[in-house]
Amino acid sequence: MKYLKKSFLFLLIILFFLPVYISATSQDKTYGNTTVTVLKIIDGDTLKIRYKGKKESIRLIGIDTPETRKNNKAYRDAKISGKDIDAIISQGKKATSYVKSLVKKGDMIQIEFDIQTRDKYGRFLGYVYLKGEKMLNEEIVKAGYANLMTIPPNVKYQERFLKAYRKARKNNKGLWRK
């Protein structure tokens, strides 16, 4: 009987603390939110931030905005889309301007990481939340200033972004204006 009471007590302790432990460890390793300071808006899908005392870049997961300067990617995008390189750059500047209207140097933002936290260039990969809990990635898509770019394993909000993208295109928003 004494053994049963101890076993029961042990089981209760495990059942109480296990969910708390799992939640805390999964938050820290994959989906944890981290508050950082914006240092600079690089372009429509990349920010410079201060993270744990270091300057870092963060690439917004799930989206791709046009380039703001002539580079290999801008030329590739022009070739694929059939658009003039100057039109691509102009669109990139509009996307960047839109992002700058939402987030400014010195703003505090929250980052939600997904499965893969850095890309091959060493930049953080994340979902960025503004004050009021709006997700920057999604707001850019909703306004029509980004294409979708889904790269597994970071697919947590893929359907959410697709819905916003379709609506922006249908309503001729941002880059889709006629």
Residue 76 known to be catalytic: no
**Identified catalytic residue from 67, 112, 138, 139:** 67
Residue 56 known to be catalytic: no
Residues 6+ apart with CB under 8 A from 116: 125, 153, 154
Kindly report the number of other CB atoms within 10 A of residue 39's CB atom. 17
Residues 131, 124, 112, 16: is their CA dihedral positive or negative?
A: negative
CA dist 29 and 44 (Å) reads 27
**Identified catalytic residue from 59, 112, 138, 139:** 59
**Identified catalytic residue from 56, 118, 123, 169:** 123
- For the record, the structure tokens of 68 come out as 């703001």
Say whether 97 sits in a helix, a strand or coil.
helix
Residue 67 known to be catalytic: yes
Say if residues 175 and 81 touch (Cβ distance below 8 Å).
no
Catalytic residues: 59, 67, 123
